[in-house]
Amino acid sequence: MSGVAGSAGSPIEFYFDPISPYGYIASTQVEAIAARYGRKVDWKPVLLGITVMKVMGLPPLPQTPLKKDYVARDVPRMARLVGVPLVMHGLKGINSLAACRAFLWLKAKDPVLASRFAARICARLWVEGKDITAASVVADEAAALGADRGAVLAAAESTEMKDALKAEVEAAIAKGVFGVPTFIVDGEPIWGVDRLWMLEHWLEHGDWEPHRQVL
């Protein structure tokens, strides 16, 4: 079946965490890819501190021997290949809790605004090299897009959104999501920004056959 026609345009689930440089790169590409195949994108936050460190019991990539050196080389070249700006910021102790809580609050009201906010938060960290941890900073970024700053700030610090984010992460883990970016399209999980070509292949063909062009 065709990935477009056979799925009636079901959305691409896009699992992201703003602290991931690979997630940032994917955030700059996924909407355009989806649009080419008549799909929407359902942005879903996940916390690498939970999936990688707590569930899988692994250290983060910047603290992993050998891998950290590879990532330091790989992230800038991936950004160059895709054609997007990127700064290896070197910030310590950042987290995306407030940003993800604010995202969920915005998503419940306006999913399009929420996706724009998520992309903006990713860019703040990976293009501008600025911290995203503080709820006040998160509220400022949302307000720049037209959201109510006070309401976003309250949401980012609320018990309701803390519980909502916890439930969102648990749901992601239940679907097998362990890293970002992860895409789930028509039930097919695809992990990694370097697998965007696989996402496009599925969207075009709806299968995993080679489909070589005949000259």
Q: Distance between CA 165 and CA 11 in Å, rounded?
A: 21
Count: domains in the chain: 1
φ/ψ bin of 129: left (φ > 0), alpha (ψ from -120 to 50), beta (otherwise): left
Q: Distance between CA 101 and CA 69 in Å, rounded?
A: 32
- pLDDT category at 63 given cuts 50, 70, 90 is confident
Q: What is the mean pLDDT of the chain?
A: 93
Whether residue 62 lies inside any domain: the answer is: yes
Query: What is the reported pLDDT for 60?
Result: 72
Whether residue 72 lies inside any domain: the answer is: yes
Q: Name the percent of the chain lying above pLDDT 90.
A: 84
The CATH number of whichever domain residue 167 belongs to comes to 3.40.30.10
List pLDDT tens digits, range 160-210: 999 999 999 999 999 999 999 999 999 999 999 999 999 999 999 999 999
| Residue-wise DSSP of 97-140 | HHHHHHHHHHHHH-HHHHHHHHHHHHHHHHTS-----SHHHHHH
**Mean pLDDT confidence for 5-10:** 61
Residue 108 has pLDDT above 80, yes or no: yes
And the tokens for 132?
Answer: 């995203």
Q: Give the number of other Cβ atoms within 10 Å of residue 80's Cβ.
A: 11
Query: What is the reported pLDDT for 8?
Result: 57
Query: What is the reported pLDDT for 6?
Result: 43
Write the CB contacts of 119 (distance below 8 Å, at least 6 apart in sequence).
27, 28
Which residue range(s) make up the domain with 116?
Answer: 12-205
Instruction: Please name every residue paired with 42 in a beta bridge, in sequence order, or none if there are none.
Output: 13
Whether residue 192 lies inside any domain: the answer is: yes
Residue 28 has pLDDT above 70, yes or no: yes
